[in-house]
């Protein structure tokens, strides 16, 4: 920063020295034509202008120095704060399994995590008010910012459930990502927890403005499934790892042509905007999951495949049940719930796709009133049947 201030000062001196030289020449010309008074006036004006410029440059340099001092003070405050360092130490602790995260964060209080977030919200205010640039902030605070924002445990337990409360953090995230992209083509490789970074689509769609509390009313009921008690409830961000773990379990025992697991980004999107249902046993172990895409405009809504408007279609995007829990009728319970949600949302159709080879799912859907509409290739060329259930119209 000092180098650039020095370079700016030299450039100003050179430019205005040339201006003074030109004005001196003009003064001589004016002196010959109009006399001494006019030439002195022009010369005085030039000197005054040059002095003003130098004062402005010095003030700017003083502002830069003040900004640098302030950032150093903030950095010292960060390291001197026991609360902030406690959170930072937990962020720096590497874990092999997501289940171990809870152990790492066991001794960290919510108020300490909130203070860590507030620290970076204050940095955003410095940027927004042009007190400090992202370049100023990046070297000192970039790593500590991204290791917090991209940490999956922090995301799922603190940021995402009430994400609209962290708008300033997401705005800072967007600006910081753009800066790093311009600075380094391999920026993604230098970011902590890069695989959990918020995607461009997530930020573009402003999904963080939609808290999970704004979803459909929470579903929670106990069902009797062939003598076993199964709890059906809407899943939350804290359940993300259980969803992924169940998908991995199913993936190991299912043909890849039949099964298309959801990405973490798709799960997060649906937890913001749709209904994600879970079937759990008495020990809260996840037995099955159903993802229902609401009647909204989205590539995941099958309305276009059915040539209908998105508002008329609720999409049964995914349903998967643990191999250890099949035969309990869980999928049919999910289908019943989808029909009820379709009626509440004003949808006319419930659509889903199933592999022709997946006889188990086909039988379940057909037994509950779904009919095959067409057979086509989807999800990267995989053969699928498009099935539709028409919501009966209530006669007034």
Q: Is 9 a member of any domain? A: yes
Q: How far apart are CA 199 and CA 93, in angstroms?
A: 24
Residues 300 and 230 occupy one common structural domain: yes
Q: What pTM was computed for the model?
A: 0.79
Task: Judge if 262 and 374 occupy the same domain.
Answer: yes
CATH number of 284's domain: 3.40.630.30
Look at the chain and count its residues.
396
Residues 251 and 155 in one domain: no
Residue 223 maps to a domain: yes
CA of 59: how far to CAs of 52, 55, 83, 164, in Å?
11, 6, 36, 39
Residues 261 and 201 occupy one common structural domain: no
In a domain, 296, yes or no: yes
Same domain, 203 and 296: no
Cβ 219 vs Cβ 234: under 8 Å: yes
pLDDT, residue 191, reads 86
Q: Is residue 85, in this structure, part of any structural domain at all?
A: no
Structural domain containing residue 50: 1-80
Token pair of 40 as six digits:
């002195």
Residues 239-288 have pLDDT tens digits of 999 999 999 998 888 887 888 899 999 999 999 999 999 999 888 899 99
Domain final residue, candidates 47, 80, 113: 80
**Residues of the chain falling short of pLDDT 70:** 1-65, 98, 213-220, 222-226, 394-396
Same domain (yes/no): 149, 46: no
Give Cα 277 to chain centroid, integer Å.
22
DSSP notation for 316-348: EEEEEE-GGGTTSSHHHHHHHHHHHHHHHHT-S
pLDDT digits (tens, 9 = 90+) for 135-170: 999 989 999 999 999 999 999 999 999 999 999 999
Same structural domain for residues 118 and 136? yes
Please tell me whether residues 257 and 362 are part of one structural domain.
Answer: yes
Closest CA to 45 of 24, 72, 70, 14: 24
User: Do 370 and 263 fall within a single domain?
Assistant: yes
pLDDT of residue 49: 46
Q: Where are the beta strands (DSSP E) in 71-184?
A: none
The answer to whether residue 222 is domain-embedded is yes
Q: Which of 167, 197, 214 is the last residue of a domain?
A: 214
Residue 88 lies in a domain: no
| Chosen domain end from 214, 235, 268 | 214
> What span, in angstroms and rounded, lies between the C-alpha atoms of 198 and 207?
10
- Residue 132 carries which DSSP code? S
Do 276 and 381 lie in one domain? The reply is: yes
* Same domain membership, residue 68 and residue 22: yes
Q: What is the pLDDT of residue 7?
A: 47
> What is residue 3's predicted lDDT score, i.e. its pLDDT?
39
- 249 and 105 inside one domain: no
Nearest 5°: CA angle at 317, between 314 and 319?
120
Instruction: Sort strands 349-354 and 220-225 into parallel, antiparallel or unpaired.
Output: unpaired
Total domains in the chain come to: 3
Whether 195 is covered by a domain: the verdict is yes
């Amino acid at each position: 920063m000092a180098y650039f201030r020095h370079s700016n000062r030299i450039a100003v001196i050179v430019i205005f020295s040339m201006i003074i030289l030109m004005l001196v020449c003009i003064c001589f010309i004016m002196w010959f034509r109009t006399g001494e008074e006019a030439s002195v006036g022009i010369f005085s004006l030039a000197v005054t202008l040059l002095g003003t410029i130098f004062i402005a440059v010095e003030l700017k340099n003083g502002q830069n120095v003040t900004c640098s001092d302030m950032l150093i003070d903030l950095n010292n405050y960060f390291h001197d704060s026991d609360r902030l360092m406690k959170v930072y130490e937990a962020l720096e602790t590497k874990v092999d399994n997501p289940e171990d995260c809870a152990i790492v964060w066991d001794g960290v209080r919510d108020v300490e995590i909130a203070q860590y977030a507030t620290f970076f919200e204050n940095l955003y205010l410095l940027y927004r008010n042009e007190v400090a640039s992202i370049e100023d902030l990046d070297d000192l605070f970039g790593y500590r910012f991204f290791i917090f924002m991209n940490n999956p445990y922090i995301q799922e337990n603190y940021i995402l459930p009430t994400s609209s409360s962290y708008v300033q953090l997401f705005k800072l995230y967007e600006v910081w990502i753009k800066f790093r992209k311009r600075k380094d083509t391999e920026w993604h490789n230098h970011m902590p927890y890069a695989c959990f970074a918020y995607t461009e689509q997530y930020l573009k769609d402003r999904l963080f403005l939609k808290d999970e509390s704004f979803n459909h009313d929470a579903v929670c009921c106990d069902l009797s499934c062939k003598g076993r008690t199964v709890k059906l409830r809407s899943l939350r961000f804290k359940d993300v790892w259980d969803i992924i773990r169940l998908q991995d379990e199913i993936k190991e025992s299912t043909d890849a042509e039949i099964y298309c697991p959801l990405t973490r980004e798709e799960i997060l999107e649906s937890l913001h905007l749709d209904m994600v249902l879970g079937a759990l046993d008495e020990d809260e172990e996840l037995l099955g999951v159903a993802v229902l895409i609401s009647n909204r405009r989205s590539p995941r809504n099958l309305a276009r495949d059915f040539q209908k408007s998105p508002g008329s279609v609720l999409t049964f995007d995914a349903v998967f049940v643990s191999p250890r829990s099949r035969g309990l009728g869980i999928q049919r319970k999910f289908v019943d719930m989808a029909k009820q949600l379709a009626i509440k949302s004003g949808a006319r159709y419930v659509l889903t796709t199933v592999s022709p080879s997946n006889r188990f799912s086909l039988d379940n859907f057909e037994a509950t009133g779904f009919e095959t509409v067409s057979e086509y290739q989807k999800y990267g060329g995989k053969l699928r049947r498009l099935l539709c259930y028409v919501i009966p119209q209530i006669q007034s």
